[in-house]
A = this chain, B = another copy of it.
C-alpha cells in the first residue's frame, strides 16, 4: 500500500473509485506515467468505493496510498454521520445538500499536495466538475484556482519556483460528456462506484446515482457497472 516505487511519479491523482475520478485517472495516465493514486478512507458509509479505487489503481499499474482520515470524528455530513440519512435525489432541492462533507476537497487537495511534494511529482489531478456539481462549493473552478495559489505559497517547490500544477480536466464537462470521454479513453468504467448509500448494489435513487444514470442516458450509452 505504501511501497515506494523507484521512479519519480509524473502525477498524483485523487482517486475515489467513482466515475469522475476514474476518468480523471485515465486522463492523467494519458499525460504520463507512473502515477500515484491517493484514496481517502474518511469514514464514508459507501465503503465499496475503496475496493473500486484499488481496482482502478491496479488497472493503471499505479501505486496507491490509502490515507485514513476519519471525518466522522467531526461529522456534519450525511456521508459520514450515520444519524443523517442520505436523501433521494427528488428530495435534495436547491442549495448545498446534506451530502456535502465540510472542506472535503480542500482536505483532499492539501494531502495530495503533501504527497506530490514528498514524491516530487509535477502535477496533481482531481476529478471534480462544476456543471453537475450538486451544489458543492469546493467543486468550483474559482476554488481550484485559489487552492493552486495557496499550495504554491505553502510548499518548498513553490518557493523554488516549481509549483505543483493542479489539474481538474473534468471541471467544465457535463456528466454525459464525462461518460463519452471516459469511453473514448478506455477508462474502466465497469469498475466504478457512484452510489452514496452503502448497499451491495447502487440504490438508483440517491443524487449521485441519478446524476450518473442521466449522464449515461444523455450519452446514449449503457452503464457497464450495472451489467
Contact = CB atoms under 8 A, between A and B. Distances in A.
Contact of A146 (B68, B111, B150): B150
A143 B137 contact: no
Interface of A is mostly: helix
Interface residues of A, number: 48
Contact of A104 (B65, B109, B114, B146): B114
Protomer copies: 2
A149 interface: yes
Contact of A74 (B107, B115, B143, B147): B115
B76 A119 contact: yes
Nearest to A112: B103
A73 B69 contact: no
Contacts of A181: none
A74 B121 CA distance: 12
Given A103-B113, A107-B111, 7 more contacts: A103-B155, A104-B114, A138-B155, A143-B153, A146-B149, A147-B150, A149-B150
